[in-house]
């Protein structure tokens, strides 16, 4: 059970409507319904029922409502007391270009709102480079891809997985033919592909998946800069295989590009928040980890980060 589930439930009862609550909470209604179903499953009780007047609390729901409101008041008071301590210091966070395209501004805004005295230092780089910086202790934390658990004696702590990203074939919308909503790896065998080099984590994942499928890709260009890679795709030089976040910095992405999800359960990219060990992190850094998790969860739940499955509850 989580505080946000309590807030969702209370707001639904207050508004008497699942759809109005979803709009008020800036959530997709299906995501809100899923959270309430999860809450009812944990409590083994039906909390809400539909009626001619909308959604109303059951008898068990009314009993739970009063306790939930009390819990939320106590939680809000705890937050106010904690924030009065005014955490300060500098926290360094590493993000890959595709991750930064979706997460950088929400993270900046959330940190400024919650912890205005914490100076956030963001570094954008390839996952391998960020791993090196983390090992050298020039970063406090980084979101890394498909990271293996640290070896014995490592002082790096692997955190909970954040999410899994689907991979899409992305091409210019100017090409004559339209592509379907989903494709298989075999379907992209003859596509002129623009990919990062073999040292890139995503390229390693793609090469392994293509080999399993018996597909030899038609790689026409290798680029290790997301901005240059997407500029080449935009110009019609070729297509690429990337998560949907690759078009995150294009406000008019729908007019520039078209994309198709690769329908293969093994062609996905795992995102994991890794950091220095807890004893090495400052209180500000520990707070930043929670803000990152909250930002990712919000972006996934409100539909802003599409093509993503949250793994927030996996561990």
For all residues of the chain together, what is the average pLDDT? 88
Q: Among 65, 17, 15, which Cα is nearest to 43's?
A: 65
H helix or E strand, kind and range, residue 35: helix 29-43
Pair 142, 271: CB distance under 8 Å = no
Q: Which residue has the higher pLDDT, 141 or 127?
A: 141
244 pLDDT band (50/70/90 cuts)?
Answer: very high
Residue 218: phi and psi, rounded to 5, are -100, 80
pTM of the model: 0.70
H helix or E strand, kind and range, residue 88: none
Does the pLDDT of residue 218 top 90, yes or no? Answer: yes
Cα separation of 278 and 127, whole Å?
A: 21
Segment 8-33, tens digit of pLDDT = 999 999 999 999 999 999 889 999 99
Does the pLDDT of residue 315 top 60, yes or no? Answer: no
Does the pLDDT of residue 155 top 60, yes or no? Answer: no
58 pLDDT band (50/70/90 cuts)?
Answer: very high
Cα separation of 22 and 37, whole Å?
A: 14
3-class secondary structure per residue, 52-82: CCEEEECHHHHHHHHHHHHHHHHHHHHHHHH
**Per-residue pLDDT, 285:** 93
Read off the pLDDT of each residue in 174-186 and give the average, rounded to a whole number: 92
Q: Among 162, 172, 174, which Cα is nearest to 270's?
A: 162
* Continuous H helices in the chain: 3-15, 18-25, 29-43, 59-83, 97-114, 127-135, 201-212, 226-234, 253-256, 283-301
Cα separation of 94 and 74, whole Å?
A: 34
Read off the pLDDT of each residue in 306-314 and give the average, rounded to a whole number: 71
Segment 109-118, tens digit of pLDDT = 999 999 999 9
Proportion of the chain above pLDDT 90, given as a percent: 55
Read off the pLDDT of each residue in 281-291 and give the average, rounded to a whole number: 92
């Amino acid at each position: 059970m989580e505080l946000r589930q309590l807030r969702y439930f209370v707001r639904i009862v207050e508004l008497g409507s699942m759809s109005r609550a979803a709009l008020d909470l800036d959530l997709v209604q299906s995501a809100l319904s899923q959270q309430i179903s999860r809450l009812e499953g944990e409590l083994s009780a039906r909390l809400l029922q539909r009626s001619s007047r909308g959604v109303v609390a059951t008898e068990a729901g009314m009993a739970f409502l009063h306790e939930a409101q009390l819990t939320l008041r106590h939680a809000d008071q705890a937050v106010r007391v904690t924030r009065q301590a005014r955490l300060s210091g500098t926290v360094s966070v590493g993000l890959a270009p595709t991750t930064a395209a979706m997460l950088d501004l929400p993270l900046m805004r959330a940190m400024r709102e919650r912890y205005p005295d914490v100076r956030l230092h963001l570094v954008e780089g390839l996952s391998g480079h960020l791993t090196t910086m983390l090992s050298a202790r020039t970063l406090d934390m980084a979101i890394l891809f498909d990271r293996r658990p640290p070896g014995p004696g490592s002082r790096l702590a692997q955190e909970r997985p954040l999410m899994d990203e689907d991979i899409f074939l992305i091409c210019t919308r100017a090409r004559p033919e339209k592509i379907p909503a989903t494709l298989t790896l075999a379907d992209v065998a003859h596509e002129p592909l623009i990919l990062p080099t073999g040292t890139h984590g995503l390229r390693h994942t793609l090469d392994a998946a293509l080999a399993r499928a018996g597909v030899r890709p038609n790689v026409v260009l290798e680029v290790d800069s997301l901005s240059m890679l997407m500029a080449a795709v935009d110009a019609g030089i070729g297509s690429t295989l990337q998560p949907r976040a690759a078009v995150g910095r294009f406000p008019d992405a729908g007019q520039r590009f078209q994309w198709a999800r690769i329908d293969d359960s093994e062609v996905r990219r795992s995102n994991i928040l890794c950091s220095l060990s807890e004893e090495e992190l400052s209180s500000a850094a520990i707070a930043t980890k929670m803000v990152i998790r909250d930002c990712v969860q919000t972006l996934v739940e409100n539909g802003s980060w599409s093509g993503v499955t949250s793994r927030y509850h996996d561990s």
